[in-house]
Amino acid sequence: MGAAAEAFRNEVRDWLARHWTPERRAAHLKKPFKEHGWDPDFSRLMGRDGWIGVGWPRKFGGQGRGPTEQIAFVTEMANVGAPVQAHSTGESIVAQALFLHGSPEQQAEWLPAIKRGERTFALGYSEPEAGSDLAALRTRAVRDGDHFVVNGQKLWSTGGDKAEYIWLAVRTDPEAKKHAGISVLMVDLRSPGVTLRPSLALYGKTFSAQFYDNVRVPAANLVGAPNNGWKVITDALAAERVMIGGTRMAGIERAFDRLTDYLKTAVVGGKALRNDPVIRDRIGALAADIEVARQFQMRNCRLIEQGRVPLHEAAMGKVFSSELQERLGQAALDILGTGGLLSEDAGGAPVGEMEQVLRHSIMGMIGGGTNEIQRNVIAQRGLDLPR
Amino acid sequence: MPQHGGVSDSERDLLRQSVRDFLARAWPSETAVERAGDAAAVTTLWRGMAGQGLTSLGADPAEAGLREIVLVFEELGRAACPAPLLGAVAANLALSQQGSNAARALLAGLHKGDAAVALALGGFDGDAAAGRVDIRRQVARGTVSFVEGMQGATHVLVFTDAPVGVTVVAVDAPGLTVRATPGLAVPPFCNVAFEGAPVDWLELAASTLSDIALAARLACAGRALGAAQRAFDLAAENAKVRKQFGQFIGQFQAVQHKLADCLIRLDGARLAIDSAAAARDAGNPDWTVFASAAIAFASPALREASIQTHRALGAIGYAEEHEAPRHFRRVHADLARFGGVSRARAELADHLLGPVP
């Protein structure tokens, strides 16, 4: 990392030291685990000081930072456990789509609000019969004067019980081929006719199912041209995969550091764990994998800096890092034994959060396109194998 | 560790293309395997490589750093070419700063293609069974195993650890016995016994020798990468034309996912190896950690890629007349060496957890 990037990193650290204080962090961690990471007050504080939209173009009020600095930013945030989830979907996926497909009015209204940390979003993509095959979605939106009327059901929306708005993929032309009849609406989840059913995911946080019953959505909240939603969705996702990977990598590195810090001094049953050849071999293997995951991430950054959108390269990074997270969680349990099963707030846990790493890894392999779908992308786009 | 003059990406692309073109002419795929055991053919190849400037790799870091060395090794792997470049690189790295007449004469011969050097890392090899050579009163005694490049070699470069240094011995020197030890590696490694061979010995710091030995390990990982990538490319192409059950086998998800996983392993190894070599070229003292990580990843990953490549090829790739078997041999021979994956992981554990007392 160059001197400019290092200076930027220090600026971020400095701000965090002043605003993500030990007191604030302790208060945050006192809340139930499922609320960790989601703090609209802190999002607004970040927004006030210009820390939302670090990677946005300057013409939209962002800092115009490149991918390497953006990764440094999310890494610094993750390293201290600063809660960014309330604004992150709006800041990343929604904003990216609005840059490319939003009307001038939408850009003028929604982007500044997101940047201030005042509009929180969840994604409304999956449905009971549309998961990996997202284009099979059936939630209907029918134009009625200045509104769309929405009917249908969405599933597995991370943060969908807490967000104010949902980035909703809907079918606007049921006659068109499946990719061609989709549109994207920004829907206020507090609208009449929306019913939320929150549920708890394996990793300890919530997502929601939503039922839409004649929900009226202003037509002004349609993003992009009608029936052009597939393009809006894929453009937004392609640009964001790398940053999502950056957050995951920061989590993996932090967990690995905690594990190795523990192993340096731990003595169990009279034996120093650090001298155990099996443990050393496992740690060496994980360290090599982490370096390779970093290399995939840096390659994605280089491609973006060259003006390319990494596609199969991003898929490789996603597959590798999410499966590495799984290996790390499994290795931690093997190394720590029963103690590895304990939560960080349990007394006597050798290294807390390790079982959490494992539970979280499952989401990494499923969310944002399952690893099996990613492998299809690698084979068909990276290797040009026939479909 | 020398600072590197800096070769640009486009210069590296040119180097890769020129080496690939040269090897396509000088070491064509059709005869690569049978000629590997032909000392005269290897000697002719070696003179050709000298003409391309390749036998000087490592002599001048401004001309070519470890990244370029690794790149050339990748191409050797791809072409299943047994040129004794490992010994040349090690000799260039060890001796180019030395003023002795013997060192200068050897390097001059090497750069012209008149000399070819086999490499015995001995106590610096990393394999517990590699043996060692000791020097006492200008006489070498000991036995080293897993020596690469003896076919057609004029000299053998030996790393000694009692005392620490190097010696270069002519292959026809008295007291030197060479025995080929056939196995998966083609051409085979050799066992070389020194029974009172009189030698010139040069003192070098253990850190210098370790650094060169690590560069050699990384170069061999690069050679394995080139071989694994070539076999994989053939398998991926085959999947686009081979039909079974009425469709291209590359349409089956079982095959697509297998090949996707191979590509992840190959690209991961390439990125890690290149980054480690670049770190050495930049004078980064942590390059050894990056090299250990690259080797620790590449060793199992490329071997697995090689196995899965064969699964994707099926029986056609199992025939020795197909290119794939030579690459399978190369990948495994280059990655099981030098202490292999266990040693590389142990080095990383030393770095992260401290050495075992």
What does the pLDDT look like over A66-96, one tens digit per residue? 988 999 999 999 999 999 999 999 999 999 9
Ramachandran area for residue A325 (φ above 0: left; ψ -120 to 50: alpha; else beta) = alpha
Q: Check if A170 contacts B (Cβ < 8 Å).
A: no
Domains of chain A: which residue ranges? Answer: 3-115, 121-227, 231-382
How much is the CA Rg of chain B, to the nearest whole Å?
20
Distance CA A314, CA A106 (A): 29
Yes or no: say if B305 and B228 are a contact pair by the CB < 8 Å rule: yes
Question: What pLDDT does A5 receive?
Answer: 82
One pLDDT digit (tens) per residue for chain B, 357 residues:
444 557 899 999 999 999 999 999 999 999 999 998 899 999 999 999 999 999 999 999 999 999 999 999 999 999 999 999 999 999 999 999 988 888 999 999 999 999 999 999 999 999 999 999 999 988 999 999 999 999 889 999 999 988 999 999 999 999 999 999 999 998 999 999 999 888 889 999 999 999 999 999 999 999 999 999 999 999 999 999 999 999 999 999 999 999 999 999 999 999 999 999 999 999 999 999 999 999 999 999 999 999 999 999 999 999 998 999 999 999 999 999 999 999 999 999 999 999 998
Distance CA A136, CA A126 (A): 10
A57-73 average pLDDT score: 93
Q: Where are the alpha helices (DSSP H) in chain A?
A: 3-19, 22-30, 40-48, 67-79, 85-89, 95-101, 104-115, 229-265, 277-305, 312-336, 354-366, 371-377
Q: Check if A50 contacts B (Cβ < 8 Å).
A: no
Nearest CA to CA, how far is B224 from chain A (Å)?
Answer: 17
Q: Which of B255, B289, B352 to mutate to test the interface with A (most CBs of A within 10 A)?
A: B352
Phi, psi of A8 (to 5 degrees): -60, -45
Q: Do A386 and B250 touch (CB under 8 A)?
A: yes
For the purposes of burial, counting CB atoms within 10 Å of the CB of A190, is it exposed (0-12), middle (13-18) or buried (19 or more)? exposed
Residue in A288, A364, A65 with CA at minimum distance from that of residue B342: A288
Residue B194 to residues B157, B166, B189: CA-CA distances in angstroms?
12, 14, 16
Tell the CATH topology of A3-115. Butyryl-Coa Dehydrogenase, subunit A; domain 1 (1.10.540)
Is it the case that residue A18 has pLDDT exceeding 80? yes
Taking only the tens place, the pLDDT of each residue in A84-138 is 999 999 999 999 999 999 999 999 999 999 999 999 999 999 999 999 999 999 9
Residue in A68, A76, A62 with CA at minimum distance from that of residue A13: A76
Residue B191's beta-bridge partner residues?
A: B179
Distance CA B175, CA B171 (A): 10
Q: Do A386 and B347 touch (CB under 8 A)?
A: no
Q: Where are the alpha helices (DSSP H) in A80-134?
A: 85-89, 95-101, 104-115
Whether this prediction's pTM lies above 0.90 is answered by yes
Q: Check if A193 contacts B (Cβ < 8 Å).
A: no
Q: Do A380 and B263 touch (CB under 8 A)?
A: no
User: Which residues of chain A make contact with B271, given a CB cutoff of 8 A?
Assistant: 292, 295-296, 298-299
Nearest CA to CA, how far is B278 from chain A (Å)?
Answer: 13
In this structure, the number of other CB atoms found within 10 A of the CB of residue B9 comes to: 8
Ramachandran area for residue A2 (φ above 0: left; ψ -120 to 50: alpha; else beta) = beta
Question: What pLDDT does B1 receive?
Answer: 43
Q: Which of A381, A383, A384, A387 to mutate to test the interface with B (most CBs of B within 10 A)?
A: A383
Is it the case that residue A378 has pLDDT exceeding 60? yes
Annotated catalytic sites of A, by residue?
240
For the purposes of burial, counting CB atoms within 10 Å of the CB of A15, is it exposed (0-12), middle (13-18) or buried (19 or more)? middle
Tell the CATH topology of A231-382. Butyryl-CoA Dehydrogenase, subunit A; domain 3 (1.20.140)
Q: Check if B40 contacts A (Cβ < 8 Å).
A: no
Sign of the C-alpha dihedral, residues A98, A101, A105, A108? positive
Q: Check if A370 contacts B (Cβ < 8 Å).
A: no
Yes or no: say if A239 and A308 are a contact pair by the CB < 8 Å rule: no
Nearest CA to CA, how far is A1 from chain B (Å)?
Answer: 13
Residue of A nearest to B259 (CA): A379
Q: Tokens at residue A142, please?
A: 């029918």
Q: Do A385 and B346 touch (CB under 8 A)?
A: no
Q: Do A287 and B293 touch (CB under 8 A)?
A: yes
Taking only the tens place, the pLDDT of each residue in A212-243 is 999 999 999 999 999 999 999 988 886 677 77
CATH, domain range A121-227: 2.40.110.10
Phi, psi of A328 (to 5 degrees): -65, -45
User: Which residues of chain B make contact with A379, given a CB cutoff of 8 A?
Assistant: 250, 256-257, 259-260
SS3 state at B162: strand
Sign of the C-alpha dihedral, residues B285, B288, B293, B298? positive
The lowest-confidence range among A29-33, A39-43, B208-212 is A29-33
Q: Do B297 and A291 touch (CB under 8 A)?
A: yes
Phi, psi of B94 (to 5 degrees): -80, -35
Cis peptide before B187 (omega within 30 of 0): yes
User: Which residues of chain A make contact with B294, given a CB cutoff of 8 A?
Assistant: 288, 291
Question: What pLDDT does B2 receive?
Answer: 44
Taking only the tens place, the pLDDT of each residue in A174-212 is 999 999 999 999 999 999 999 999 999 999 999 999 999
Q: Check if A268 contacts B (Cβ < 8 Å).
A: no
Q: Check if B267 contacts A (Cβ < 8 Å).
A: yes
User: Which residues of chain B make contact with A289, given a CB cutoff of 8 A?
Assistant: 297
User: Which residues of chain A make contact with B259, given a CB cutoff of 8 A?
Assistant: 379, 383, 385
Distance CA A350, CA A342 (A): 8
Residue B133's beta-bridge partner residues?
A: B142
Distance CA B250, CA B243 (A): 9
Yes or no: say if B196 and B141 are a contact pair by the CB < 8 Å rule: yes
Yes or no: say if B102 and B89 are a contact pair by the CB < 8 Å rule: no
- Determine the Cα angle at A354 with ends B341 and A358, to 5°: 75
Question: What pLDDT does B5 receive?
Answer: 54
In this structure, the number of other CB atoms found within 10 A of the CB of residue B42 comes to: 22
**Residue of A84 and A355 predicted with greater confidence:** A84
H or E element, residue B170: strand B164-170
Distance CA A315, CA A303 (A): 13
Yes or no: say if B31 and B321 are a contact pair by the CB < 8 Å rule: no
Yes or no: say if B259 and A379 are a contact pair by the CB < 8 Å rule: yes
* Total residues belonging to chain B: 357
Residue B166 to residues A127, B132, B139, B160, B209: CA-CA distances in angstroms?
69, 12, 13, 6, 8
Nearest CB to B346 within list A280, A291, A382: A280
DSSP B46-106: HHHHHHTTGGGTTS-TTT--HHHHHHHHHHHHHTT----HHHHHHHHHHHTT---HHHHHH
User: Which residues of chain A make contact with B353, given a CB cutoff of 8 A?
Assistant: 260, 263-264, 274, 280, 283
| Interface predicted TM-score (ipTM) | 0.96
Question: What pLDDT does A239 receive?
Answer: 64
Yes or no: say if B239 and A267 are a contact pair by the CB < 8 Å rule: no
Q: Check if B243 contacts A (Cβ < 8 Å).
A: no
User: Which residues of chain B make contact with A387, given a CB cutoff of 8 A?
Assistant: 251
Where do the domains of chain B lie, and which CATH numbers do they carry?
9-112 (1.10.540), 117-204 (2.40.110.10), 207-353 (1.20.140.10)
